[in-house]
Amino acid sequence: MTDALAPCARIGILGGGQLGRMLALSAARLGLDVVIFDPEPDCPASRVAVETITAAYDDLDAVAKFAASVDAVTYEFENVPAATAAAAAEHAPLRPGALALDVAQDRLTEKTFLNEHGARTVAFRAVDTLEGLQAAISELGLPAILKTRRFGYDGKGQAVIREMAEAEAAFAAMNGQPAILEAFADFTMELSIIAARGLDGEVAAYPLSKNRHSGGILRESFAPAEISEDLSNRAFAMAASVLKALDYVGVMGMELFALKDGTLLVNEIAPRVHNTGHWTQDACHVCQFEQHIRAVAGWPLGDTAPHSSAQMINLIGHDADGWESWLRSRKAVLHLYGKRETRAGRKMGHVNVLGPL
């Protein structure tokens, strides 16, 4: 373990939202200190970290100073600007590396990369003009989904097209940003796999979860998903192949569509811990946050076998007003993110309700 960090080492995290906060909590239990970099003072992670640097992501001097003050740098969001990642990587190992960010930041690059590395996706076309969109619709058929190539999250920057007449409005909704048209996946289930790769190349994955979204936002995950061994083996193989191709270190979330005929398609990957992996906090001995910290520290990966089944319920916006009743609920473990302001659509916390395996 030559590149492994020692206890009391410092890990820098770009981004101080709830994912950074939960990473910091896991790191603290392992005797590692976390330094958060976030433009927002008082961000959720800052209140559980040993130090916070409040600066803009494009303040490369601040990024360099931050990275020079830690032993490894990681991130909690995929939109870390390339220049920021490069500035950090000059002063400390960046885990996962810049390639993972580059691939995950652009849906076109991402889908191309996935298909080249054994992970099939829906059919897709790059769209830059209205005429291009109409041609892509003729090729892929309808319904289809037009998405901005970059910066989409929680279903934002997407327009479903059901008939050709809707093409113009969908194109206008992209606001002139480069876009991608995706064939509509007629899935029976949305699944995800949370997989990790260590510094030594070892790969480990948790059992898949079944996820329910509404309004583009994840509402609930159920794990382990009741699926065939074959399906879960195929998901593992796809995740392992992508992790290897990215020379990845850390936890990655891979969102999947299961089709009626048994086909498994990758929707997207997230080069970070993932909301559909929150169930592991209370149903596994080593959760996704600890797993990520272990990988970033160059430590051995942990056991991914669950000791319980779990239903993870996101507390979105005013859902969180009912936090107290969750404290009285048996087998429910409440997680609140310390966000001072409740806003519609904002992830405020989650609950893991445990059950027998």
Residues lying near ligand ADP in the complex (CB under 6 A): 122, 145, 152-155, 182, 184-185, 190, 213, 216, 255, 267-268
What's the closest the beta carbon of residue 124 comes to ligand ADP, in angstroms? Answer: 8
Residue 204 touches which of ligand ADP, Mg ion, none (Cβ within 5-8 Å per kind): none
Pick 43 or 122: Cβ nearer ligand ADP: 122
Pick 108 or 135: Cβ nearer Mg ion: 108
Residue 184 touches which of ligand ADP, Mg ion, none (Cβ within 5-8 Å per kind): ligand ADP
**What are the tokens at 38?**
């976030």
Give the HSE-up count for residue 22: Cα atoms under 13 Å, Cβ half-sphere: 26
Pick 36 or 270: Cβ nearer Mg ion: 270
What's the closest the beta carbon of residue 316 comes to ligand ADP, in angstroms? Answer: 14
Within 243-272, the residues that bind Mg ion by CB under 5 A are 255
User: Strands, E, within 110-149: which ranges?
Assistant: 124-127, 144-148
The helix (H) or strand (E) run that includes residue 316 is: strand 309-316
Instruction: Reply yes or no: is the peptide bond before residue 93 cis, omega within 30 of 0.
Output: no
Residue 182 touches which of Mg ion, ligand ADP, none (Cβ within 5-8 Å per kind): ligand ADP
- Write the interaction track for Mg ion spanning residues 170-199; mark x where CB under 5 A is met and - where it is not: ------------------------------
Give the HSE-up count for residue 102: Cα atoms under 13 Å, Cβ half-sphere: 12
Residue 65 touches which of Mg ion, ligand ADP, none (Cβ within 5-8 Å per kind): none
Q: Residue 293, SS3? A: helix
Residue 71 touches which of Mg ion, ligand ADP, none (Cβ within 5-8 Å per kind): none
Alpha carbons 221 and 273: distance in angstroms, whole number: 15
User: Is residue 251 left, alpha or beta, with left meaning phi > 0 and alpha meaning psi from -120 to 50?
Assistant: beta
Alpha carbons 54 and 50: distance in angstroms, whole number: 13
**What are the tokens at 234?**
């195929």
What's the closest the beta carbon of residue 113 comes to Mg ion, in angstroms? Answer: 16
